[in-house]
Homo-oligomer: A and B are copies of this chain.
Amino acid sequence: MEELTSIHNQHVKNWKKLQTKKYRRQTGRYLLDGWHLVQEAHKAGIEILQLIGTDEQLDAHQDLIGLSAEVYQVTEEIMRHITETVTPQGIAAVVEMPNAHQVPSAPLNGAWLLLDRVQDPGNVGTMVRTADAAGFTGVVVGDRSADLFSPKVVRSMQGSQFHLQMYEGDLSKWIEDFKQVDAPVYGTQLNPAAKSFRDVHPGATFALIMGNEGHGMSKELLAQTTANLYIPMRGEAESLNVAVSAGILMFQLNQGLAD
């Protein structure tokens, strides 16, 4: 165990840099903040590359020190610095990001959530967490969505990233891949002329695409789907929050699997 007291230490600087997308891409790693996420990672069989804790927290959880080959005892100031949290729990860990630019090796199956330029990190994280609860198999984010492993998205995913396959990629290509295995791909549209979501009953393998908070899905993707779905709403309401819509749709489309 190494004891660090300065925020100018090179380890501390590197952990801090994990807040940037660029450095996460360079190293292939990201930071988990708090006991819940560290334990979820361990339960999921994810290797804890570095475990970082305050004196007090490491003392209180002796059993977890063995989880990692590299353990660092740090000050509360360092903890606040690297987590950008006002009152951090005092424990963090560095783990590997899944290799998100791969494509699945086995044929596509199960329910998948595709995110087209969803920009609010809280929305992205909440949708990943909801996909997990709804029994989905994986999540794919397109080019201009919030980064899956940014601190805010990680906080709101609450560990669901360990239960799902997580990918980044060209959604247009993913749609073609689903079509190749005869699986329907459902877009979503704020358009009463689209298909009511209650009229769709897919089998076990399908994809659902949610779009940008303000602008919805891109026209190009809307044109490529099997069908585009609409949630019928009372006239006076103009739209639903994207994460709420995604929840309604995922629990409706994946009924058989989630129960």
Contact with B along A215-259 (1 / 0, CB 8 A): 000000000000000011110111111011111100100010011
A255 touches B198 (CB 8 A): yes
Of B160, B231, B236, which contacts A251 at CB under 8 A?
B231
- Does A189 touch B at the CB level, under 8 Å? no
Among A239, A246, A251, the most chain B Cβ lie within 10 Å of the Cβ of: A251
CA distance A172 to B245 in the complex (A): 30
CA distance A240 to B156 in the complex (A): 11
Look across to chain B and name the residue whose beta carbon is closest to the beta carbon of A239.
Answer: B133
Q: With both chains docked as a complex, state the minimum distance between the C-beta of A151 and any C-beta of chain B, in angstroms.
A: 18
- Does A134 touch B at the CB level, under 8 Å? yes
Q: With both chains docked as a complex, state the minimum distance between the C-beta of A118 and any C-beta of chain B, in angstroms.
A: 14
Residues of chain B within 8 A (CB-CB) of A243 are 241, 243-244
A234 touches B198 (CB 8 A): no
Contact with B along A196-224 (1 / 0, CB 8 A): 10100000000000000000000000000
A231-B251, A247-B245 in contact; A237/B133 too (CB < 8 A)?
yes
A233 touches B133 (CB 8 A): yes
Residues of chain B within 8 A (CB-CB) of A133 are 231, 233-234, 237, 239-240
Query: 10 tightest A-B contacts by CB?
Result: A133-B237, A244-B247, A133-B233, A135-B234, A132-B237, A163-B236, A232-B259, A248-B251, A126-B241, A247-B248
| 24 interchain pairs, CB-CB under 8 A | A126-B244, A129-B237, A129-B241, A130-B241, A133-B231, A133-B234, A133-B240, A134-B233, A135-B233, A135-B234, A160-B236, A160-B237, A163-B234, A163-B236, A198-B255, A198-B259, A232-B259, A234-B258, A241-B243, A243-B244, A244-B246, A247-B247, A247-B248, A248-B251
